[in-house]
Structure 1
Amino acid sequence: MTRAFNFCAGPAALPEEVLQQARDELLDWQGTGMSIMEMSHRSKEYVAIAHAAEQDLRELLGISNDYAVLFLQGGASQQFSMIPMNLLNSGETADYVNTGQWSIKAIAEAKRFGNINVVASAEDKHFSYVPAQSSWNESKDAVYLHYTPNETIGGVEFPFIPKTDKPLVADFSSSILSRPLDVDRYGLIYAGAQKNIGPAGIVVVIIRRDLIGRVTGLPAMLDYKIHADNGSMYNTPPTYSWYLAGLVFKWLKRQGGLAAMAEVNDRKAKKLYGYIDASEFYSNPVNPADRSCMNVPFVLADALLDKQFLQQADAAGLLNLAGHRSVGGMRASIYNAVPEAAVDALIEFMQDFAKRNG
């Protein structure tokens, strides 16, 4: 079987080695006579799988014991609500930075639970840049500062970590594990799995322990304290997604860890942006200093060719290059599991398409 190159923004490509291992273990995990999907989450076998996944993630990101690591259901979108529910008491304020569609969704949900101050917005330039922190209107009494380091849809990535004396909260769904990360600078990090962690169905939350339990009386399934006290097993967790995430963590370690991944990811992005910038047929709308290493949007000089471009790309085995429905155009998501050969093939196709249609 010939596998295509998958540029989907999520659910995204998974490492082929991981898929092969999962295939080989699908019916019988290590001689148990059962699939992981059939195994009790409280069995000693599965508890060992879950523990190993957490330890490998802690090692990859350098997460200290000052933080709880939670593997939860609901995806990042549920965290848009859980974060203010767990961190904001009645009448309290949180600061949010608006750099795109996922920031907008996080802000809308947070407004249900507290006073939300939007410290800065890039909407004035169609979310094509990151506002300098010197321009932000931050609240003196904010409980936390929330931002989206990488906007998947718009292809905007923060080139800096915001400086603040408040707990920093960040949606790392699209960029976590793509490079080293100083977790100690954050109060809470969350990331939907279906980009760089594993398959859809699970979200990772890394929360500083002193922030757990700020708000009491929450529904059990929405309370970080209950999940932390029960090792993310208050209820039956998404066991297969957790298992696959663990395989991805081990794969990352075999690649040399996050520093090695950063080198590859930087090289992939530099190649693709370099070709786009040198072309008169394609262009990227994002301020060069704020471009995402993971999500590369681009447009054709003639939008009437978009449909033809996508059809021919699919036929060439270059899949899921359509831009998000809210912005159109094209987007190549080049996460960890997208090999450099995929970027090379995409550039070759783009060159040929431009030659034939320019």
Structure 2
Amino acid sequence: MKKHNFSAGPSILPQSVLEKASEAVLNFNDLDLSILEISHRSKDFVEVMENARDLALKHLGLQNKGYQALFLQGGASMQFLMTAYNLLEQKAAYLNTGVWSDKAIKEAKLIGDVVEVATSKSDNFNFIPKNYAVPSDVDYFHCTSNNTIYGTQMHKFPNTDVPIVCDMSSDIFSRELDFSRFSLIYAGAQKNMGPAGTTLVVVKEDILGKVSRAIPSMLNYQVQIDKESMFNTPPVFSVYVSFLTLQWLEQEGGISSIEKVNNQKADMLYKEIDRNPLFKGYVANVEDRSKMNATFNLVNDQLKETFDSHAKAAGVSGINGHRSVGGYRASLYNALPLESVKVLVEVMQEVERGA
């Protein structure tokens, strides 16, 4: 049976990417060697790394604009600390919209002062705060563009002269933005870009070198730039599959094309959530809904067993909500086909007819 994979991460990857990756596990570039066993210093892998970094910048429209792309380790969670180590001299401003921004704040406080400009924590993060001011005397402003657990997404970013740092782990490459507004972007690969194990960091070089502290080599962006993401052995397979996924995105027409499909998927599912009397959305404000993670609940929990069994029979996988929210979460990442959303909507309608 075909599976419809709505997992929040690690998540669905394009079928063509999986096929190419599986071939490379056995024989990479006709070397009669596996991608898993070649040297990261070999010509073949260095080419992969260089092309992956270049393609990331190309998709974001940041080539030749003073940015560097890095593939690092430690997940987005490492970037919570690494960002502060490299950029926080006196004080930083943070928008708190979920668990991950909350954790980023905790790490930054180890380094310097943190101003929390706004938060939706008291309402279990079911909306994106508005009408907050970014102080002019901070080293940077940090935000999380999409919140996988709660299904909220920032659709507007503040106008400020302060450098903007953004955790885009769950919506990078999914929609068009003016990425040059951001001085630093980071994203764990396991949502829209590849398997777990590597993290993309895109950094504007002119924001570096402004802190007085000594930075450990592994956590120093400039060291990583100078070593071209090869300061230590990189996660070779994760970088390779991320490269394949970036190639797939290019073949699909890039961000502008994939955004249209993503909008179709989100519109279709949210339309059903709003129409179907058996379901209700989790997010308080429609304008804050995520195009990547649709969170919803049953109005009557007694129908849970029925809905779950129908979903399983249809091959729908990975829709259980996060334990802190409950209910359901359908992740609509780039590689998820529109067909899968149609199947989920049909399941919701089928349960309605039988209720």
In structure 2, the partner of 1:232 is 229
In structure 2, the partner of 1:9 is 8
Match of 2:318 among 317, 320, 338: 320
Q: How far apart in 1 are the matches of 2:209 and 2:306?
A: 54
In structure 2, the partner of 1:85 is 85
Q: How far apart in 1 are the matches of 2:57 and 2:228?
A: 15
Q: Secondary structure, in 3 states, of the residue corresponding to 2:36?
A: helix
Would you say the 8 A contact 1:150–1:292 is kept in 2? yes
1:225-282: CA deviations, max 9, x gaps? 1111100100000000000000001100111111000100000000000011011100
Query: Where in structure 2 are the equivalents of 1:214-293 lying within 5 Å?
Result: 214-215=210-211, 216-286=213-283, 287-293=285-291
Q: Secondary structure, in 3 states, of the residue corresponding to 2:142?
A: strand
Q: How far apart in 2 are the matches of 1:155 and 1:25?
A: 35
Query: Where in structure 2 are the equivalents of 1:9-158 lying within 5 Å?
Result: 9-65=8-64, 66-89=66-89, 92-132=90-130, 134=131, 136-158=132-154
Would you say the 8 A contact 1:155–1:292 is kept in 2? yes
Match of 1:159 among 144, 155, 159: 155
- What is the TM-score of this pair, normalised by structure 2? 0.96
Q: How far apart in 1 are the matches of 2:2 and 2:239?
A: 24
Alpha-carbon offset, residue 307 of structure 1: 4.5
Would you say the 8 A contact 1:119–1:138 is kept in 2? yes
Tell me whether 21-30 or 121-130 shows the greater mean CA deviation: 121-130
1:189 aligns with 2:185: yes
In structure 2, the partner of 1:347 is 345
Q: Secondary structure, in 3 states, of the residue corresponding to 1:142?
A: coil
Percent identical across equivalent pairs? 44
The root-mean-square deviation of aligned C-alpha atoms, in Å, is 1.3
1:25-71: CA deviations, max 9, x gaps? 22111211111111111111111111111122121111133011110
Q: Secondary structure, in 3 states, of the residue corresponding to 1:296?
A: strand
Would you say the 8 A contact 1:310–1:322 is kept in 2? no
Q: How far apart in 2 are the matches of 1:54 and 1:73?
A: 15
Alpha-carbon offset, residue 311 of structure 1: 4.2
Q: How far apart in 2 are the matches of 1:116 and 1:75?
A: 22
**Segments of 4+ in structure 1 off by > 4 A?**
none
User: Unmatched 5+ residue regions in structure 2?
Assistant: none
Q: Secondary structure, in 3 states, of the residue corresponding to 2:140?
A: strand
Q: How far apart in 1 are the matches of 2:2 and 2:270?
A: 25
1:299-331: CA deviations, max 9, x gaps? 001123335433442332100110011111100
In structure 2, the partner of 1:301 is 299
Q: Look up the equivalent residue of 2:259 and give its one-letter code.
A: A
Would you say the 8 A contact 1:153–1:324 is kept in 2? yes
Would you say the 8 A contact 1:213–1:224 is kept in 2? no
Q: How far apart in 1 are the matches of 2:282 and 2:62?
A: 35
Q: Secondary structure, in 3 states, of the residue corresponding to 2:194?
A: coil
Tell me whether 273-282 or 102-111 shows the greater mean CA deviation: 102-111
Would you say the 8 A contact 2:306–2:351 is kept in 1? no
Q: How far apart in 2 are the matches of 1:35 and 1:62?
A: 33
Tell me whether 122-131 or 25-34 shows the greater mean CA deviation: 122-131
Q: Secondary structure, in 3 states, of the residue corresponding to 2:253?
A: coil
Tell me whether 341-350 or 102-111 shows the greater mean CA deviation: 102-111
Call closer, same or farther: CA 1:254–1:112 in 2, change over 3 Å: same
Q: Secondary structure, in 3 states, of the residue corresponding to 1:54?
A: helix
In structure 2, the partner of 1:179 is 175
Say how many residue pairs are matched: 352
Would you say the 8 A contact 2:265–2:338 is kept in 1? yes
Alpha-carbon offset, residue 203 of structure 1: 0.3
Query: Where in structure 2 are the equivalents of 1:192-203 lying within 5 Å?
Result: 192-203=188-199
Q: Look up the equivalent residue of 1:19 and give its one-letter code.
A: L
- What is the TM-score of this pair, normalised by structure 1? 0.95
User: Unmatched 5+ residue regions in structure 1?
Assistant: none
Q: Look up the equivalent residue of 1:347 and give its one-letter code.
A: V
Would you say the 8 A contact 2:310–2:347 is kept in 1? no
